[in-house]
Structure 1
Amino acid sequence: MDKIGRNDPCPCGSGKKYKRCCLDQNANPVGFTSDDRRLALEKLDRFVETELGAQDDEAWESFFEIWADQLEELNDEETQISEDFYDAWFLWDCALADGGRVVDRFLEIGPLLSLGERQYLTLMRETTVRLYEVVDLSPGESVTLVELPSGARTRVREKSASRSLCRGALLAARIIGRGASGQPEIEFGLLSIPELVRDQVLSQVSKQHENYRREYPEATDLELLKAAAPVLHDVWISALLDPPIPRLQNTDGEDLLATRVRFEVADPAQVQAAFDAARGLEREEEGKPVWLWSGGNLKGKPVILGRLVLEEDALELECNSAERAERGRTMIETLAAGVVRHRSTVYQNVVMDIRERLRSRRRESTAADSGGRPALPGEAVPREAQEALTLDAQARHYREWLDLPIPALNDRTPREAAKDPALRPKLAKLIRRLEGAYQGCLQADKPAYDPSWMWGELGLEDRSRPMHPPLLAHERMASLVPGLGELCRTVAENARRQPGFKDASSILTRADIRRNLDIQRFLRHREADQHNQASAPGEQVIPSLEPHIYLMTNLELHRRKTFWVDESLAYMLAKTELDLPGDELRAPFPCFALVFSDRYTLSLAERLLARDRQCPIAGYYLKAATIYVIEERLESGRGLGVVFALDTLGADPPH
């Protein structure tokens, strides 16, 4: 983790400078361990049970009051998330009758605590739930968050959520500035807020802050945020039990409402003649008594306004809004005056139907893992062709999108918004959401369009880009496997001292690696360690090291010759087709590495990995691609081996 400057924003997310927030706490040599945390919470729970049972019950009823009759609809995981959120709120945020909080009373009159237990409780006392947007992830290791609306940036250690979240996701979380790992950590889980209610939740929290500030003008920012925590839980649980649906409108701006208007018909022949002669009515199919009613919408574009079906002595008009149905009824009663009589008008709420289907789908809660996208019945177009067509269409669309007025940008185009300081943050959020959609498509093994080029095109700062060059695959392996780097350096130096070694051509073969006693001894020790790690929960088990040793040793043998490929050169190489006879190809060194960190190359690799559902880093953003080129001795002559090492810089080793 990078060192935090005194004047940098505090990583706890408070919005204060580090020196005025957690610096003194972090300077304290007394930290806490996972055991300290567990024991502190056990003691705190017993204290609540024996001393504050009535207050706990009262707070529970108030917290879940409006959802009491629906809580059983939550599945086990959702129930656990909800209960954990409540527990944290009651312990750290809820104001008791005397104005104090549970943790304060516990620290004052509770049992004796170790230094570590007290340190944990003291740090947690200063936490609360805040809204964050995900800007970057290192799978299995960390999540980089931006607090809303302050913009304070925080990188938290988080193993599980970093594998399930996507860029642009909105979440509510409680972050402790210094967890058991010594880094910021998420405490008591997190709430994932649906994109559809993003603006709503920001507005609700803002109003809650205003109301609380009016009622308690002397309240601190921390107290204000603690009071707003239940609002965030209500938004989250509402999205589960009462799924949000976007406002659905037709092209006239009218709310969608499936409407059927029924009439009695006294003279079907006269009605048919009237409809056939009417302007704006046209038979759907020759010879059948079905007419399409067309006209212009608010923008003057021709649209289908309704459908009329005549069956003997009954006529039915179908429209997608109440307003169109009313206009259609007037038209029919004018065209067929005297021979039709209105019987009924029936409405079907489309939004309610969609919401009920979503709720039913949750109740069924099927979580079968398909293991990739199955082929559709009759699917004749090859996958590669489908992906190429889809990505080409999306590329054209988003190139045009940059110059189209966007409602979310106050009807300004993205190019115009990029030049407006007030709109730039909104534009950045839109791009992050597109990046989240891209990652979601990768994880679902669907054609995925990478929008990251928009940052540079619009002159915006991409805050997910690393501030410094990433570690290369061999450097990462050396950091993940203790002793591996030193082993490879030692083997390489010994090989260089052997008679007949030539800088221009000598290479250690795979057979040389298998015969080397130091390497085999190291591998045997590692195998024993891996066996022990496999039984330890949460431990990362690294697959066979021999291929890595082969590459790393030869790279050391030739002094780690490494070339960083410029972004423009990488793009040119991707668009150039080279077809050279093998004997004309010359490598500058027997072993060297090429490093690609541009998004064009990494996106190609991400889409390739997405097809392999067994790959541990499939569906995640890559940070670096290290390409190793090594000359190999073949019976028929020489050959070039090319190995791609792709890395998310997360907990998983390069793939």
Structure 2
Amino acid sequence: MAQAFDSVAAVSRILTEHGPLDEDDVIARIRAEGDDPEKRPGPVINEILCPARQLTDDRWVWLPKVLLGRVFTHRVRADEVAYDLLTVTPDLDPITELCLHEGYQQLADGSPVSVVLAEYDHQLLRQRGIPPEVIDPLGALLLLPPGTLSGLGAADGDLVGVRLSVSGLVIERVAAVQSPTDVGERLAATLDADKPTFLDSAVWTVCVDDPAVFTEPLPPLRDIIEDCGLVHDDDWLAPPGFDFERWRFERDCERLIRRYGLEPDDALTLRALVAVYDQMSAILEAAIGADEVPDDSSDAAGDDETPPDDPAGYRALAAAFGSALSDPLLAQLLVDETVGRGGAPAALGLFAETLEPQVARTARVAYRWLRAVALEQIGDVESAEREYLAAESMDTDWPPTLLDLARFASDRGDAERGLALLRRAGAGPGHPLTRILEQHRATPHTDLGRNDACWCGSGRKYKKCHLGHEQLPLDDRVGWLYLKACHHVFLTDWRELLEEAAEARAAHGSADAKLPAGVDDPLLIDTVLFEGGAFADFLAKRGSLLPDDERLLADQWLLVDRSVFEVEQVHRGQGIEVRDVRTGDVVEVHERTASGQLRPGQLICARVVPAGRTHQFLGGAEPVALHERDRLIDLLDSEPDPVDLVEFLSRRFAPPTLVNTEGDALTMCEATVKIGDSARIEALLDDAFDRADDEPHWIEHVTTDGMQRISATVALEGDQLRVHTNSEQRMDRVLAVLTRLDPSATLLDDVRQPVRDVHEAVGLAQQMPTPGAGAFDPDDPQIAQTLDGFIREYETAWLDEPIPALDGHTPRQAAEDPTRRADLIKLLDSFPVADGSTGMDADRLRAALGLQ
């Protein structure tokens, strides 16, 4: 019997029947069954969806088949018994991999089990009352039903086994174990001398080679590994003497080469200096644990202070590689690889202060710059600026220092100084900050001489006062102020929240989830700034740098909430009048772009903020459907986080959910059923369904919204019935009827293809026949009259149906309610103009509701 293609079922069937296969063999066998899996989206073998795993030689196996009957042991500690949990790595890794899949997240008796990680499942661990000190923060745990281990009589030091039976996982106490004989040697035989192997893959490979191994309890894998001299690190296994630290170091160097296009020597240098930073970070963490570290990273280490421990040989590394940071690229990459990846700024400050005296004088500017970066990261911008200036005095041409000082000049509103610094740094006209500052340069007063009194009224000469220090009016600096806050997001940990918001925006294909998309989409950055709190953080850390009038304006912005507005008037190319639907306040917004796109009556979600003498939108204006208005208001009232708000406002990008008139997900289904008693089947089908014509064709009808509709078609061809429906529920219903009519019937074929979009639905519908139906001609007077009758019946029923856009009220109720009548009018105005008899007529509905 041919079934609709199911990749999990196909992979399970093939690997269970044929054993270990490489991926090409799996694909070839699926093709031999009549399907081409490579034409379908996603991987053919998806480890997320099914328990198929790879051996050390890259062949795939069906894990339940490999592990059935196997048992793996673990020596429990007292705290594991007390809290009913088992440490997974390394003893239980090979079998608890099954617990990642739904069918194996329970024991054979039906009680639940799960593999948990402290980093992700802290709430569940708290609910179980498991204290943090008994949890390895990086390790996985098998969480058992309460009382499991004590019920087995297990105590500290006892062996417990986890076995896979035909009914599921079984937890058992192990009284005695067999000798592991040559299991260690077999594991060693699977290993590569130059790189580690996943421990579980090595064990599965041994199990495939020997069906009897691990079918009786053996010592824990940890003991087997150590007894034969193998080494393991987390879930990795390697031959005796393997240097995991060196391997990780070399692997990181390769990553740096790929990521940044570095030469091998530069990658080695960068990785070595990151190792020094890691040592500094460990020192600080130890000091924090002992309450010995000061709050200010500038005091974390003096110039001549020697850290208390040097297990990584950081001084030797510093002597060998420290001077390389005179290369601006390597210095910037060091920041990216440390604090840019969530590392501690204080550790970077300690790194800079400790190493600066030990490197060549020409490289010391880099370490002074790093100290400034660390201070800026912790929010001490005044101290950071002093350090940047000190670094500039050490080397007046070192680009990173000049670029950062240009940012400070921009925050202070000094476009001319910022541009001068950028030119010295070699930044061209295409540099983002150069473009911003060029746009906000003030033009000198041409009506004043250099020696005339300054226009500001200070009494000083123009050349001594404002010449070269002109400033644009506040109205013209609104965008500049906003961009300063945006830069704060891009250069700090707020980027992570921006990336989360971008992923939420991209959920329906509305944007790229990568960070650059966040720059182009005003909603993303604005929600992070205001709902997320980044703007308040910007003012707390950098507000002291802003010109006074910008700081006052920024404080006003913090008091403005995002809201839902109705567009009342539009002045093309100038602005719009909007009314806050929550407060009723009407505001004139200066907005050229939006005024060319919006129309009166439209609902939008926006932040309307003061902008000098006018008001502007910050973060764009998101269209809001009428039926979403009240739910959005409720969400805004709840002070949502940026991701929740972006998810809500991005639902408009979601493709329509395709359902049939019964609300079933649209799926084109076709089945072939062989009839056992074809002599009497026609009479039985006549009783069960409606015959379409004199031919052996039948139709199942359902009535929805007061209209009769075709839900399935059945055609008799010899001794076979062909069934077509547009949902799985309908197909199951018809097949159940056919089985009842003829218990000897056999299902020969059952193909079900979900419909993802409208275009696909049209194409599939055209391929599926409607038995007994002739060509449909909407211009036929008789057909047009019938359709018009259906539509009028539906219009009458619609008047008394709850409508989501009317908050669940019926049109009649909304027409009688002054507070909802405007919404009803907007809804009717949104109806397309009816074409003949093909749609609801808004004018007829208005007349029926007394709205004309």
Sort the TM-score into its range (normalised by shorter chain): 0.3 to 0.5
In the superposition, the TM-score normalised over structure 1's length comes to: 0.44
In the superposition, the TM-score normalised over structure 2's length comes to: 0.35
Asked which structure has the greater CA Rg, the reply is 2
Higher RCO structure, 1 or 2 (CA under 8 Å, sep 6+) = 1
